[in-house]
Amino acid sequence: MKTFEEKLNDYAKLISEVGIGCQKGNKIMIRTSTETIEFARLIVKNLYELGAEKVVVDISDESIIRMNFENESKESLSEVPDYIVQKAKYAGEEGYGRISITGGNPELLKGIDSEKIEASNRAFGLALKDTMKYTMNDIVSWCVAGASTKAWAKKSFS
């Protein structure tokens, strides 16, 4: 019987080979959180073994995201820095495949003013609208991979 680590590596291989379909020379961008960084490392390793030319990892931290929503005004949360838009545009134009590792805390923004959340989501949606064509029209390869986290385990089994 395979160990958990072996099964996790098999899952990372599946995402790399089938989910994103990595081939020699591909450029891949991975979005992950600090909670799932170990899993992201397995995927990066597999992508390079498959011949990826470049792998870029964007890491978010849920504690910091929570602090942003607790402390920033609705107006501040509605501002999308231009570098975020330019990065997404560059990645699309350069043909970067995209892997998003999901599994964040289901209660991350519990108790946060819903108007702040809506304002932030609306602002990012509008700012990144033109860059969404790369994934929505399958111009670049993309894959969403679920990953278990402590927050989900607590929510599911408590």
In the DSSP assignment, the letter for residue 97 is: E
Question: Which tens digits make up the pLDDT trace of 3-31?
Answer: 999 999 999 999 999 999 999 999 999 99
In the DSSP assignment, the letter for residue 36 is: G
Residue 158 pLDDT exceeds 80: no
Q: Using 50, 70 and 90 to split pLDDT, how confident is the model at 154? A: confident
- Residue 60: what pLDDT? 96
Residue 145 pLDDT exceeds 80: yes
Buried b (16+ CB within 10 A) or exposed e, 63-73: eebbeebeeee
Q: Is 49 helix (H, G, I), strand (E, B) or coil?
A: helix
Give the mean model confidence (pLDDT) for residues 62-72. Answer: 98
Q: Give the rounded percent of residues in the chain with a pLDDT score beyond 90.
A: 90
Q: Using 50, 70 and 90 to split pLDDT, how confident is the model at 150? A: confident
Rounded-to-integer distance, Cα 47 and Cα 105, Å: 27
- From residue 88, alpha-carbon distances to 20, 92, 98, 106, 125 in Å are 18, 6, 10, 25, 12
Question: Which tens digits make up the pLDDT trace of 82-141?
Answer: 999 999 999 999 999 999 999 889 999 999 999 999 999 999 999 999 999 999 999 999
Whole-model pTM: value is: 0.92
| Sequential DSSP letters for 103-152 | ---TTTTTTS-HHHHHHHHHHHHHHTGGGTHHHHTTSS-EEEEE---HHH
- Residue 65: what pLDDT? 97
Give the mean model confidence (pLDDT) for residues 43-51. Answer: 98
Domain with residue 47: its CATH number is 3.40.1830.10
Structure tokens at 33: 């959180």
Give the mean model confidence (pLDDT) for residues 46-60. Answer: 98
Domain extent for 96: 4-157
Give the chain's domain count. Answer: 1
Residue 45 CB partners (closer than 8 Å, separation 6+) = 12
